[in-house]
Amino acid sequence: MPYLNTTAVESGVTSLAAAFPTADLIELPEPTFEGRTCHALRIGTHDGQPKPAVVLIGGVHAREWGSCEILLNFAADLLHAHAGGTGLAYGGTSFTSAQVRTILEKLDVVVFPLVNPDGRRYSQTVVPLWRPNRNPAQSGGNPAAVGVDINRNYDHLFDFRTAFHPLAPVRVSDDPADPDQVYQGPEPFSEPETRNVRRLLDHFVRTRWFVDVHSYSQKMLYVWGDDQNQSADPAMNFRNPLFDGKRGLKDDQLYAEFVEERDADDSAVLAERFCEALKGVRGKEYTPQPAFDLYPTCGTSDDYTYARHILSGQDEEKILAFTVEWGTDFHPPWAEMKKIVLDVDAGLVQFCLTALA
């Protein structure tokens, strides 16, 4: 089977919802700029009470084709195994039927496989390495300036020129024609795609964990992405303007982002267990690490999602947030991509089980 096109991904989501009573179809409220309606799945048994939720999204960057297949296969595996009363086996990593049942009975698993369908279609039919969406609003008629990087459009340190040190190599731009395709958009949540993700988090009020599936670099990343982590000085945080102009440099004494020690420890354990289960499939080594260790970022889904409870004054559920970076290529040969799907899905099943532990 080749990579799925946009229509096939949507068909897969709706077909699973129709086939299984433990899958509910969620229509996202915001159509894309090309008029596409997006859908997600809620997977889990119905017991009348909201359950802790894990939200998984993919297909954010258009050229990262395999993320959609990873999440669709993950959803299908859980649903088929639960319906059949069986376990799951991914190479050398396996899970019992009781473990599958625990996931569906104790969690709401929310799967949004294709956040950016316009971009995926353009990548698969016109420009293979296209990254953002297809919003032309800021392009001025320049084809190279079409699109916003969805994973720079969230409301976290969006004013990067104020927030970061001028020498920080932060991967973001306010230029619509930026050649690296990391244009953040005119304002936070300017894009329907990011607003759809926010809507899921708002709707599933008991969301406790979040995973954004990307490629590539064989890593499991956890917050923060704007600077190195520290748990000693709570005043040194992204809301404090005293530290503007100091963020984003590695191994310096100017700034490090505060994270509660328990959150840092829990995030590290979840990432480590994900990587261990993934390695068990066929021996692939993924590295668990804070996102900043890859490169400094802002406006990303994981940092925004974790920061929600801080900005709300603790009214929001605290969400531990992660980014998977699968593989070593945006478009691996399909024979290899099928193996990567199994690798990552084993990690995601274990992630859910570790979250419940």
Give the 3-state DSSP-derived string for the chain, with helices as H, strands as E and coil as C.
CCCCCHHHHHHHHHHHHHHCCCEEEEECCCCCCCCCCCEEEEECCCCCCCCCEEEEEECCCCCCCHHHHHHHHHHHHHHHHHHHCCCEEECCEEECHHHHHHHHHHCEEEEECCCCHHHHHHHHHCCCCCCCCCCCCCCCCCHHHCCCCHHHCCCCCCCHHHHECCCCCCCCECCCCCCCCCECCCCCCCCHHHHHHHHHHHHCCCEEEEEEEEECCCEEEECCCCCCEECCCCCCCCCCHHHCCCECCCCCCCCCEECCHHHHHHHHHHHHHHHHHHHHHHCCCCEEEEHHHCCCCCCCHHHHHHHHHHHCCCCCCCCEEEEEEECCCCCCCHHHHHHHHHHHHHHHHHHHHHHHC
pLDDT category at 316 given cuts 50, 70, 90 is confident
Predicted pLDDT of residue 314 = 63
pLDDT, tens digit (0-9, with 9 covering 90-100), for 207-264: 999 999 999 999 999 999 999 999 999 999 999 999 999 999 999 999 999 999 999 9
pLDDT at residue 107 in the model: 97
- Is a pLDDT exceeding 60 seen at residue 1? no
pTM as predicted = 0.97
CATH number of the domain bearing residue 64? 3.40.630.10
Residue at 303 is within a domain: yes
Q: What is the CA radius of gyration of the chain?
A: 19
Residue 241 in domain:
yes
Residue 130 inside a domain? The answer is: yes
Summarised one tens digit per residue, pLDDT across range 137-187 is: 999 999 999 999 999 999 999 999 999 999 999 999 999 999 999 999 999
Who's near 252: CB < 8 A, 6+ residues apart?
none
Segment 17-38 mean pLDDT: 98
Q: Evaluate whether residue 334 is within a structural domain.
A: yes
Range of the domain at 166: 6-356
Per-residue pLDDT, 292: 97
Q: Average per-residue pLDDT in the chain?
A: 97
Residue 1 placed within a domain: no
- pLDDT band at residue 87 under the 50/70/90 scheme: very high
How many folded domains does the chain comprise?
A: 1
% of residues, the chain, pLDDT over 70: 99
280 lies in some domain: yes
Using pLDDT thresholds of 50, 70 and 90, give the confidence band for residue 47.
confident
- Distant-in-sequence, close-in-space partners of 124: CB < 8 Å, separation ≥ 6: 3, 5, 6, 65
Q: Which residues of 116-151 are buried (b: 16+ CB within 10 A; e: fewer)?
A: bbbbbbbbbeeeeebbbbbbeebbeeeeeebbbbbb
Q: Which two tokens stand for residue 229?
A: 């982590």
pLDDT of residue 48: 76
pLDDT of residue 200: 97
Is residue 21 included in any domain, yes or no?
yes
Assess whether pLDDT exceeds 90 at residue 312.
no
Domain assignment present for residue 107? The answer is: yes
